[in-house]
A and B are shown apart, each in its own frame.
Chain A
Amino acid sequence: MSTTTQEKPMTLKSLSHKKDLLTGGHRMCSGCGAPTIMRQVLLAVDGPVVLTNATGCLEVSTCLFPFTAWRVPWMHSAFENSAATAAGIETMYRALRKKGKIKKDIKFIALGGDGGTYDIGFQALSGAMERGHKMLYICYDNGAYMNTGIQRSSATPFGADTTTCPAGSKVPGKPQRRKDLTRIMAAHKIAYAAQASPHNWKDLMTKVKKALAADGPSYMGIVAPCNRGWRSQTNDSILLSRLAVDTCFWPLYEVENGKWTINYDPKDKKKPITEWLKLQGRFKHLFAPGNEGLLEQAQKYVDEDWASLKKLQEAFGR
């Protein structure tokens, strides 16, 4: 696949001249990672784009009747079916284009949080990827059902305190490790799967461009700090997304037609997971005396995943 999809280099100056397609005035919380991510995504798109959105924070906060914050066609229908809804739209596009009723080249992006993607929307996502609809599915992953009040999802990190796996005296937060959805998407043999973070806008936007240029379905997981659920400072969102990458909790990597590439390897600057955990109230109990073992376990999971990702790059890299 060609990586030269940009006509001119992306600079902050050139991007500042592009129209914001998600307007201000939406009702997302201050400090929320999702609208920042969406702005970056839409700045990376050239030409017409149609969005679908699973039920969730991003959906309810951006389109509250009779207002909308979207300057592009946008559709929400339910929680578990952003991918299936986008599949229908994309298919109608192909049908009408075949008949000459549409001439334009339109891109399709399906959006969902981790609840709507890893859990309830998993089947619809898997089906849409397997069928080969030409769409980019983006999961903004804040690691819990934040819209309904911080319940655990299969993306919630080990040990986190949520309202359905509260840090109690018997069970200290989420006992399970998280599902690795990006690798599951790569296992669908789609043309492009990647992880990105809003602190590295250039990497994120380059990936969106690559994903949209892919010949077939593509998937991106993007870490999305949520100060309400993470119990963190509203002005720490970008810092926390950077630390997620620097600790290798959320490695930046991409799988292009089966080729695995780690986009950022901190090498000897890899930070301990505690650097990321300690800024978040949802992990506070892990630092209490007697819970050292849990912190070790959290570090072990990150190290295992990072090591196996490096092996994948060695085996299936360039």
Chain B
Amino acid sequence: MPITTKTVAVTGNQAIAEAFRQINPDVMPAYPITPSTDIVQRFSEFVNNGKVDTEFITVESEHSAMSAAIGASAAGGRVATATSSQGMALMWEMLHIASGYRLPILMALVNRALSAPLNIHGDHSDGMTMRDCGWIQLFCENAQEAYDNMVMAPRIAEHLDVRLPIAVNLDGFIISHSIESMNYITDEDVKSFVGEFQQINPLLDTDNPKSIGALVLPDYYMEHKRAQHESTLKVMKVVEDVSAEFGKRFGRKYELFEAYRLDDAEVVLVALNSAAGTIKDEVDRYREKGVKAGLLKPRLFRPFPYEKIGAALKNAKAVCVMDRADSYGGYGPMYMEIASALYPHRGPALFNKIYGLGGRDLMPLDVDQVIEETAEVARTGKVKMVKEYITVRN
């Protein structure tokens, strides 16, 4: 493994495993599931070859993975895990408890479609299902972003204003299994950037016994949840601060979202993760043709930066929100966020495309069609269909 900064050709899963090695968590409980399995396997090799100090727990299910993560984190140390899709779904009960107990657990969520029908390929239905679980959610376009976000993750989650669990999302197979050129940071730099884990009320402090996990009835429950919400809102500034420090030290700049050729854009697409790469190419092509196209790629999905995203989109003429997940019978989950963000503004015409479910490719020509339609809506101000599936058979 590299010990100095260098350009490497690795998969997204390799990059995450490398970030975990450098973070060197105290405990990792994990259970294999495609397409995140590779992270866990690689990390097990680090453990069994003495490259990390981590105690690895080969749990018998994802429910126990998150339960053990909660126990270990409350005990008083740094905990990381990785999962996908059904694995996250099995953890779902415990995800709320991790955030409710304010435990800064690190998770790599390699996005994959939820069953049924069974499918192992990438979409965001797992990540979107996490929306209301109280976790910080970062989304990543490529292996470099996945690695960088994971290096920043402990600083965000463990910040004393925050203390919340965090999930770093990357697209299954498209990013997790594709080899890309990217840069690793040195072990020493990651170690000094991440810093030591700071305990708060550790359960293992047996001289000062604590009870964690009380029954809280209607007289106090809402105060707990409101405190949780207010702490979650503080995440935005912490993400900005940590990202600014990261940019200063390592040269790669990150904001709450990426605004690609957005300043004067009239025809705007919104998309998460790997599709943004394809869309950027097509935005460039349309710019050459004289279409004022642009892309907004959210990075922080929870908490959602409504005000800043609303301000960034309000001057567009038409916005198409591309969702790689659906809320059946409703609009796509990202569309609902963007609509909320734009509500205070006399905003652009807004519509929604559902694409790429279960790993269906989004090709440049598909993006072109969306840009054409968005340009048409920008000209006419008329949306023909608010929500529509694309890249799908009739």
Could you jot down 27 A-B contacts, CB within 8 Å?
A63-B211, A66-B220, A72-B209, A73-B205, A74-B209, A75-B213, A77-B97, A77-B101, A78-B94, A78-B97, A81-B67, A84-B63, A85-B68, A85-B70, A88-B70, A91-B57, A91-B68, A92-B204, A95-B26, A95-B53, A95-B54, A95-B55, A96-B26, A106-B206, A123-B60, A124-B64, A131-B57
Residue among A75, A99, A126 making CB contact with B60, cutoff 8 Å: A126
Q: Which residues of A contact B97 (CB under 8 A)?
A: 77-78
Does B209 lie within 8 Å of A71, measured CB to CB? yes
Question: Using an 8 Å CB-CB cutoff, how does the interface string of A97-119 with B read, 1 for contact, 0 for none?
Answer: 01100101010000000000000
Q: Which of B64, B217, B220 has the most CB of A within 10 A?
A: B64
Interchain nearest-CB distance for A154 vs B (Å): 19
Q: For the complex, give the distance between the alpha carbons of A68 and B253 in Å.
A: 47
Question: Using an 8 Å CB-CB cutoff, how does the interface string of A147-180 with B read, 1 for contact, 0 for none?
Answer: 0000000000000000000000000000000000
Q: Which residues of A contact B77 (CB under 8 A)?
A: 92, 95-96
Q: Which of B26, B73, B216 has the most CB of A within 10 A?
A: B26
With A64-B214, A76-B212, A77-B94 as contacts: A91 and B27 at CB distance below 8 Å: yes
Q: Which residues of B contact A72 (CB under 8 A)?
A: 206, 209
Q: Which residues of B contact A99 (CB under 8 A)?
A: 26, 53
Q: For the complex, give the distance between the alpha carbons of A73 and B61 in Å.
A: 26
Listed from nearest, the 10 A-B pairs whose CB atoms lie closest are A88-B71, A127-B60, A76-B213, A88-B68, A92-B75, A84-B67, A81-B67, A88-B72, A48-B206, A84-B64
Q: For the complex, give the distance between the alpha carbons of A84 and B59 in Å.
A: 8
Does B209 lie within 8 Å of A87, measured CB to CB? no
Does A65 lie within 8 Å of B215, measured CB to CB? yes
Q: Which residues of B contact A71 (CB under 8 A)?
A: 209
Q: For the complex, give the distance between the alpha carbons of A123 and B206 in Å.
A: 29
Residue among A53, A64, A81, A104 making CB contact with B64, cutoff 8 Å: A81
Contact of A70 with B by CB under 8 A: yes
Q: For the complex, give the distance between the alpha carbons of A66 and B223 in Å.
A: 12
Residue among A74, A88, A98 making CB contact with B29, cutoff 8 Å: A88
Does B71 lie within 8 Å of A92, measured CB to CB? yes
Contact of B162 with A by CB under 8 A: no
Q: Which residue of A lies closest to B77 (CB)?
A: A92
Contact of B203 with A by CB under 8 A: yes
Contact of A80 with B by CB under 8 A: yes
Q: Which residues of B contact A75 (CB under 8 A)?
A: 71, 74, 203, 211-213
Q: Which residues of A contact B59 (CB under 8 A)?
A: 84, 87, 127, 131
Contact of A93 with B by CB under 8 A: yes
| Contact residues of B between 46 and 64, Cβ < 8 Å to A | 53-55, 57-61, 63-64
| Contact residues of B between 63 and 100, Cβ < 8 Å to A | 63-64, 67-77, 79, 93-94, 97
Q: For the complex, give the distance between the alpha carbons of A111 and B2 in Å.
A: 45
Does B27 lie within 8 Å of A63, measured CB to CB? no
Q: For the complex, give the distance between the alpha carbons of A75 and B72 in Å.
A: 11
Residues on A lying within 8 angstroms of B by beta carbon are 48-50, 52-53, 59-60, 63-66, 68, 70-78, 80-81, 84-89, 91-96, 98-99, 102, 104, 106, 123-124, 126-128, 130-131
Q: Which residues of A contact B209 (CB under 8 A)?
A: 70-74
Q: For the complex, give the distance between the alpha carbons of A94 and B210 in Å.
A: 20
Q: Which residues of A contact B79 (CB under 8 A)?
A: 88, 92
Residue among B64, B206, B213 making CB contact with A63, cutoff 8 Å: B213
Q: Which of A50, A53, A92, A95 has the most CB of B within 10 A?
A: A92
With A76-B212, A77-B67 as contacts: A92 and B72 at CB distance below 8 Å: yes
With A63-B215, A124-B63 as contacts: A92 and B76 at CB distance below 8 Å: yes
Q: For the complex, give the distance between the alpha carbons of A52 and B97 in Å.
A: 15
Q: Which residue of B lies closest to A81 (CB)?
A: B67
With A64-B217, A68-B214 as contacts: A89 and B203 at CB distance below 8 Å: yes
Q: Which residues of A contact B93 (CB under 8 A)?
A: 78
With A63-B215, A92-B27, A127-B60 as contacts: A78 and B206 at CB distance below 8 Å: no
Q: Which residue of A lies closest to B26 (CB)?
A: A95
With A85-B71, A130-B60 as contacts: A73 and B29 at CB distance below 8 Å: no
Does B26 lie within 8 Å of A92, measured CB to CB? yes
Q: Which residues of B contact A106 (CB under 8 A)?
A: 204, 206
Q: For the complex, give the distance between the alpha carbons of A95 and B202 in Å.
A: 14
With A88-B68, A104-B206, A124-B63 as contacts: A70 and B211 at CB distance below 8 Å: yes
Interchain nearest-CB distance for A129 vs B (Å): 10
Q: Which residues of A contact B29 (CB under 8 A)?
A: 87-88, 91
Q: For the complex, give the distance between the alpha carbons of A96 and B74 in Å.
A: 13
Does B54 lie within 8 Å of A88, measured CB to CB? no
Q: Which residues of A contact B214 (CB under 8 A)?
A: 63-66, 68, 76
Q: Which residues of A contact B64 (CB under 8 A)?
A: 81, 84, 87, 123-124, 127-128
Q: Which residue of A lies closest to B71 (CB)?
A: A88
Does B71 lie within 8 Å of A59, measured CB to CB? no
Does A65 lie within 8 Å of B217, measured CB to CB? yes
With A50-B204, A74-B209, A106-B206 as contacts: A89 and B71 at CB distance below 8 Å: yes
